[in-house]
């Protein structure tokens, strides 16, 4: 079954698209099919779809997967969806906020080790959605997400480029991330002000790291918080808290702290995090000795 175009659904159900909720619906069947193909769900897979809207990708996903759990926050849209597609097999519409959706629990309840995730994301929630996916990474195999073009560029950016940011480093630490294709703003209704990119985030390709993920993230955010500053400045608070000096840190990790965070590779950020943790431990041990 083909989904009814969003423009017709809006008219039929007397709904107006909400900007606040990022309601730019896909209006290009070819792009919908490309997203469904990129998700690549099979008959054993359970897919979490973020923001079902009027089913532009939901119906295609349901033809391939065992089940699509489609989350939609908008009550009017959810009602229209149920009226049109409520009888279709393989779709469970969940009316609610995806930011409150428990991915680990959903995987358990549906008897899969890992969910697939798909969505033409409401752009306002991209950051918290990505954070939640990272937190639930052991319950997610891959995510195929349409995001605002500039955010997509940051997700896949390499060191030394202007798009390289904390998002690039932290996401690439946890997953294999690549751009699948670009989507022009003309493919949506209503038309947004920016183009989009479809990004694949493969959590099965996240490296085996020796650093603590939270410590890593905090070092990365500190380094990019003051992007134009040298690492010895942007990490000064962190260095002080570890009870060490920039010189000791430099010697321990072999990274020149006159560099800026934007030039560091993932491995170098990890070396920095590990060195800080080691110096921190030594500092603590030293303090304990003094007390004794």
- Chain residues that interact with ligand SAM, rule: CB under 6 A: 6, 21-26, 51-53, 56-57, 71-74, 77, 97-99, 120, 122, 125
d(CA 19, CA 149): 17
Nearer to ligand SAM, 54 or 269 (CB): 54
Nearer to ligand SAM, 27 or 277 (CB): 27
Beta strands in the chain (DSSP E): 25-26, 46-50, 67-72, 91-95, 115-120, 140-148, 176-183, 188-189, 196-202
- Token couple for 105: 């629990």
- For the chain, what is the radius of gyration of the CA atoms? 22
φ and ψ of 112, to 5 deg: -120, 150
Nearer to ligand SAM, 39 or 77 (CB): 77
Minimum distance from residue 148 beta carbon to ligand SAM (Å): 10
Minimum distance from residue 251 beta carbon to ligand SAM (Å): 47
Nearer to ligand SAM, 53 or 261 (CB): 53
φ and ψ of 49, to 5 deg: -105, 130
Minimum distance from residue 110 beta carbon to ligand SAM (Å): 18
CA–CA distance from 141 to each of 113, 175, 201, 210 (Å)? 9, 10, 9, 21
Nearer to ligand SAM, 7 or 209 (CB): 7
Minimum distance from residue 70 beta carbon to ligand SAM (Å): 8
Minimum distance from residue 57 beta carbon to ligand SAM (Å): 5
Q: Which of 71, 113, 83 shows the shortest CA–CA distance to 9?
A: 83
CB 215 within 8 A of CB 271: no
d(CA 223, CA 231): 6
Minimum distance from residue 231 beta carbon to ligand SAM (Å): 36
d(CA 65, CA 100): 23
Minimum distance from residue 2 beta carbon to ligand SAM (Å): 13
DSSP string, 177-211: EEEEEEE-GGGEESPPSS-EEEEEEEGGG----SS
Nearer to ligand SAM, 51 or 261 (CB): 51
Nearer to ligand SAM, 52 or 249 (CB): 52
């Amino acid at each position: 079954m083909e989904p009814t175009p969003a423009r017709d659904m809006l008219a039929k159900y007397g709904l107006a698209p909400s900007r606040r909720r990022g309601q730019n619906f896909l209006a290009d069947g070819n792009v919908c099919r490309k997203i469904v193909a990129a998700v690549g769900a099979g008959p054993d897979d359970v897919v979490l779809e973020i923001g079902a809207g009027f089913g532009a990708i939901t119906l295609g996903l349901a033809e391939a997967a065992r089940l699509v759990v489609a989350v939609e926050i908008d009550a009017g849209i959810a009602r229209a969806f149920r009226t049109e597609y409520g009888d279709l097999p393989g779709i469970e519409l969940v009316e609610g906020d995806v930011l409150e959706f428990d991915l680990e629990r959903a995987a358990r309840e549906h008897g899969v080790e890992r969910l697939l995730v798909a969505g033409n994301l409401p752009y306002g929630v991209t950051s918290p959605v990505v954070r939640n996916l990272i937190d639930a990474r052991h319950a997610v195999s891959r995510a195929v997400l349409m995001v605002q073009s500039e955010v997509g560029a940051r997700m896949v950016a390499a060191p030394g480029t202007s798009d390289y940011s904390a998002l690039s480093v932290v996401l690439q630490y946890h997953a294999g991330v690549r751009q699948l294709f670009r989507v022009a703003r003309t493919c949506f209704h209503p038309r947004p002000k920016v183009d989009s990119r479809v990004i694949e985030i493969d959590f099965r390709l996240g490296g085996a790291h020796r650093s603590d993920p939270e410590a890593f993230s905090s070092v990365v955010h500190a380094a990019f918080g003051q992007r134009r500053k040298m690492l010895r400045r942007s990490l000064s608070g962190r260095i002080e808290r570890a009870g060490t000096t920039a010189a000791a840190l430099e010697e321990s990790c072999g990274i020149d702290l006159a560099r800026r965070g934007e030039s560091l590779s993932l491995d170098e950020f990890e070396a920095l995090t590990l060195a800080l943790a080691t110096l921190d431990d030594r500092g603590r041990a030293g303090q304990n000795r003094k007390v004794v």
